[in-house]
């Protein structure tokens, strides 16, 4: 249920209420959120009958600009192997109201840039309210996810908390649509003074918040193949890695730090710059079922990122994935 | 010889029987879940009406059987053999009802009565892909085909009748869904049909990239 695309929109009044509450949570995000999620799981696991599930995903990705580089000389393309396991429980609390809790373990291994190799631990909970009976009744979903990201290069170690509100509706036997808003808070874990570079004392490249909106449509073919198109818009931050000095990035970055994950020539240093950006992400996914519990998926994603002063990036990604659900 | 003699004695000399072989028009394969109903004159309905108790179970997040045939005024129970909650409902004109949230072993003594002839479409509000059907026949002269696509109705009073056919995916207006038959005393009338079916868009499928984590 986690939306990987992020977008930004002007905020109506009720969204301000959600954001102000979230900002108070931010200050204790590292400790409070995981504890809350674990407690929620424990409490909900007591009374109602629950349905358990386990999802396994194994994928290969080819990314054209993994470093989000502005200059072609800084651009790296690479392939990666991703493995993700999610285990969760679904609780039907009342007619039309359900809660799902889940935990995720994921790992990524890159072919060339092994400094980007990473593991992720995630905990999440989502609440769904279905307005009415039947497959065509709309539903509103609210989810909260906490993730701890750990990378070999350490620079990218961070904790993130995502709050997502979405509306879903099956339009027909073949069409399904979803739209929603996302808020993310990120906090780096290796941005203390002793980790700062000679370029700037401000090195908290992963301390930021993002907001966005997303929409997706899914079409089901009679043979149960699925074609889904999604669009996301994110008003937030992008970390761009480049050889220093890079005056253009230095001038618009909000933080920077040495980036040991990306190799630099002798005598030069690779630096990760955190930039305020707006991103557009388009994704097209083709899912082919293999039996009732397994699917093979091919996806293409295009991301266009714009920072200040005419700095912009583009990267695209091709993924093939095998998913199995128990 | 004795068994054959006994069998001859059980067949009324004033009645015949009607067999059905149903096929998928596209594949030529036998078609299950086809209901054939002989339309009797209304004044004979009460004479050939034997309500009974049936059940439609929930197993592995599916209705079992997918298509169930009952006569009018029959009662159906909806046990839940899964170890999770289900929420059974129907919006059909022949029967509107709801059995909210019940788990395994519950509602085993609860019976829902079906008093109006017609097709009742069942769903589960938690598992949107679950789809089942209850065909409520006007009289006892109805049958549903099995996996071999075959069905038989016995002891039909001799005469000419209109026969209705139904399948969950039959195309509305298909001329094969209405047949005229003549039933003769002690004789077998065979009906063989091929139905064109609409595409089956099953909502339950393997995990997709953007699906909800729960299926």
Q: What is the pLDDT of residues A123-182, one digit of tens each?
A: 999 999 999 988 899 999 999 999 999 998 788 899 999 999 999 999 998 999 999 999
Contact A91, A50 (CB under 8 A): yes
Question: Considering only CA atoms, which of A151, A160, A157 is closest in space to residue A117?
Answer: A151
Do B14-47+141-197 and B50-137 share a fold?
A: yes
- Distance CA(A87)–CA(A82), nearest Å, equals 17
State the DSSP code for A10: P
The reported pLDDT for the residue numbered A51 is 85
Contact B114, B73 (CB under 8 A): yes
Confidence of residue A15 (pLDDT cuts 50, 70, 90): very low
Name the CATH code of domain B50-137 (choices 2.60.40.10, 3.40.50.1980, 2.60.40.420, 1.10.1040.10).
Answer: 2.60.40.420
Is residue B63's pLDDT more than 50?
Answer: yes
Contact A266, A157 (CB under 8 A): no
Residue B155 is encoded by which pair of tokens? 């002891």
Say yes or no: A59 contacts chain B, CB-CB below 8 A: no
Q: B14-47+141-197: what fold?
A: Immunoglobulin-like (2.60.40)
- The CA distance from A26 to the nearest CA of chain B, in Å, is 26
Owner of token pair 């701890």: A148
- Distance CA(B183)–CA(B161), nearest Å, equals 8
Best of A91, A92, A221 to disrupt the B interface (most B CBs within 10 Å) is A92
Residue B95: CA count within 13 A, CB half-sphere? 27
What are the residue boundaries of the structural domains of chain B, listed by start? 14-47+141-197, 50-137
Residues in chain A closer than 8 A to B85 (CB atoms): 48-49, 92
In chain A, which residue's Cα lies nearest the Cα of B122? A134
Say yes or no: A145 contacts chain B, CB-CB below 8 A: no
The reported pLDDT for the residue numbered A20 is 45
- Distance CA(B108)–CA(A238), nearest Å, equals 58
The reported pLDDT for the residue numbered B103 is 83
ipTM, two decimals: 0.78
- Distance CA(B80)–CA(B59), nearest Å, equals 7
- The CA distance from B119 to the nearest CA of chain A, in Å, is 17
Subunit contact B207:A295, Cβ cutoff 8 A? yes
Name the CATH code of domain A34-325 (choices 2.40.50.100, 2.170.120.12, 3.90.1200.10, 2.40.160.40).
Answer: 2.40.160.40
Contact B97, B84 (CB under 8 A): no
Mean pLDDT, rounded, of chain B: 87
In chain A, which residue's Cα lies nearest the Cα of B103? A49
For residue B65, cis peptide bond before it (omega within 30 degrees of 0): yes
DSSP B2-25: HHHHHHHHHS-TTEEEEEEEEEET
Mapped onto helix, strand or coil, the DSSP state of residue A150 is: strand
Say yes or no: A142 contacts chain B, CB-CB below 8 A: no
Confidence of residue B202 (pLDDT cuts 50, 70, 90): low
Is residue A270's pLDDT more than 60?
Answer: yes
When pLDDT is averaged across residues B152-178 and rounded to a whole number, the result is: 94
Q: What pTM was estimated for this model as a whole?
A: 0.81
């Amino acid at each position: 249920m986690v939306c990987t695309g992020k977008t930004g929109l002007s905020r109506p009044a009720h969204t301000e209420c959600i954001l102000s509450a979230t900002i108070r949570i931010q200050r204790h995000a590292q400790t409070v959120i995981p504890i809350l999620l674990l407690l929620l799981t424990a409490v909900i696991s007591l009374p109602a009958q629950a349905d358990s599930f386990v999802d396994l995903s194994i994928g290969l990705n080819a990314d054209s600009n993994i470093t989000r580089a502005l200059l072609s000389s800084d651009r790296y393309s690479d392939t990666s192997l991703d493995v993700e396991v999610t285990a969760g429980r679904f609780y039907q609390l009342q007619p039309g109201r359900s809660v799902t809790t889940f935990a995720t373990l994921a790992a990524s291994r890159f072919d060339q840039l092994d400094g980007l190799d990473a593991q992720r631990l995630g905990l999440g909970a989502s609440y769904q309210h279905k307005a009415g009976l039947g497959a065509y009744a709309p539903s509103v979903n609210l989810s909260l996810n906490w993730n701890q990201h750990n990378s070999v290069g350490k620079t990218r170690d961070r904790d993130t908390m995502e709050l997502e509100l979405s509306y879903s509706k099956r339009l027909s036997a073949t069409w399904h649509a979803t739209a929603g808003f996302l808020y993310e808070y990120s906090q780096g874990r290796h941005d203390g003074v002793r980790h700062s570079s000679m370029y700037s004392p401000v090195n908290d490249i992963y301390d930021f918040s993002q907001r966005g909106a997303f929409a997706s449509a899914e079409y089901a073919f009679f043979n149960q193949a699925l074609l889904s198109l999604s669009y996301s818009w994110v008003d937030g931050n992008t970390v761009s890695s480049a050889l220093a000095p890079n005056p253009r990035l230095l001038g618009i970055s909000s933080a920077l730090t040495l980036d040991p994950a990306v190799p630099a020539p002798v005598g030069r240093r690779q630096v990760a710059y955190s930039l305020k950006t707006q991103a557009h992400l388009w994704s097209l996914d083709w899912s082919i079922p293999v039996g009732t519990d397994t699917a093979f998926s091919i996806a293409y994603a295009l991301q266009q990122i714009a920072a200040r002063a005419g700095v912009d990036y583009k990267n695209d990604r091709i993924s093939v994935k095998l998913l199995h659900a128990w | 010889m004795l068994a054959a003699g006994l069998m001859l004695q059980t067949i009324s000399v004033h009645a015949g029987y009607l067999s059905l072989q149903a096929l998928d028009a596209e594949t030529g394969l036998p078609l299950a879940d086809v209901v054939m109903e002989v339309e009797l004159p209304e004044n004979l309905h009460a004479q050939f009406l034997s309500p009974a108790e049936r059940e439609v179970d929930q197993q592995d997040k599916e209705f079992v059987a997918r298509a169930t045939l009952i006569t009018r005024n029959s009662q159906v129970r909806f046990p839940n053999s899964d170890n999770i909650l289900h929420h059974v409902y129907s919006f059909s004109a022949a029967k509107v009802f709801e059995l909210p949230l019940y788990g395994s072993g519950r509602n085993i003594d609860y019976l829902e009565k079906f008093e109006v002839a017609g097709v009742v479409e069942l769903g589960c509000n938690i598992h949107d892909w679950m789809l089942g059907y209850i065909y409520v026949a006007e009289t006892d002269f109805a049958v549903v085909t099995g996996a071999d696509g075959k069905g038989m109705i016995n002891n039909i009073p001799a005469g000419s009748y209109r026969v209705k056919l139904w399948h969950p995916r039959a195309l509305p207006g298909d001329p094969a869904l209405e047949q005229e038959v003549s039933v003769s005393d002690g004789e077998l009338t065979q009906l063989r049909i091929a139905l064109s079916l609409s595409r089956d868009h099953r909502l339950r499928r393997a995990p997709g990239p953007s699906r909800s984590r729960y299926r």
